Structure 1
């Protein structure tokens, strides 16, 4: 995959993460994407694309309530997202 293809996928993923339809998901996914996408390799980007294909209510439950999406790799990405937003801190 060429660098320009990866760049296009990153830009598309950033737009999709920032335009979810709810301000909460725009904020949670969009801010994470803006900071993280440039350092993601192709495999990590593919995983992020899988996450943003997931319906918002499922992502919201996973992020805010620490519920599993049923896929270990997606759960690990959710953990990174939670850590990024400081949601993994105790009480």
Structure 2
């Protein structure tokens, strides 16, 4: 996959795909988009798509570090994305 950032249309589609039913997940995802929208590559978009296939509870467990990715989710791209998603105002540099 290429390292070029996604265009605006692809970002808009990805944002729509990332809408969740649990507010807590939406907050993590929205903060991610606010900070990294212009840095989302196809590899990051793919990793985000894999995370969006999870149930809300499983996704929140990953965001809160209650669990770590396993099996098909245990990839460098998913782990890198989780680092970016897990950053909160308290942990931001």
1:15 aligns with 2:19: no
Q: How far 1:59 moved relative to its partner?
A: 1.3
Q: How far 1:66 moved relative to its partner?
A: 4.3
Q: Distance in 2 between matches of 1:86 and 1:27?
A: 11
- Where do 4+ consecutive residues of structure 1 move more than 2 Å? 5-9, 86-89
**Higher percent of residues as helix:** 1
Of 64, 72, 75 in structure 1, the residue corresponding to residue 75 of structure 2 is: 72
Q: Structure 1's 43 and 72: CA in aligned 2 closer, same or farther, altered over 3 A? A: closer
1:37 aligns with 2:41: no
Figure out how many residues of one structure are paired with residues of the other and give that number.
Answer: 85
TM-score (ref. length: structure 1): 0.70
Q: Which segments of 5 or more consecutive residues in structure 2 lack a partner in the other structure?
A: none
Where does 1:76-87 land on structure 2 (aligned, <5 Å)? Answer: 76-83=80-87, 85-86=88-89
Query: RMSD between aligned alpha carbons?
Result: 2.7
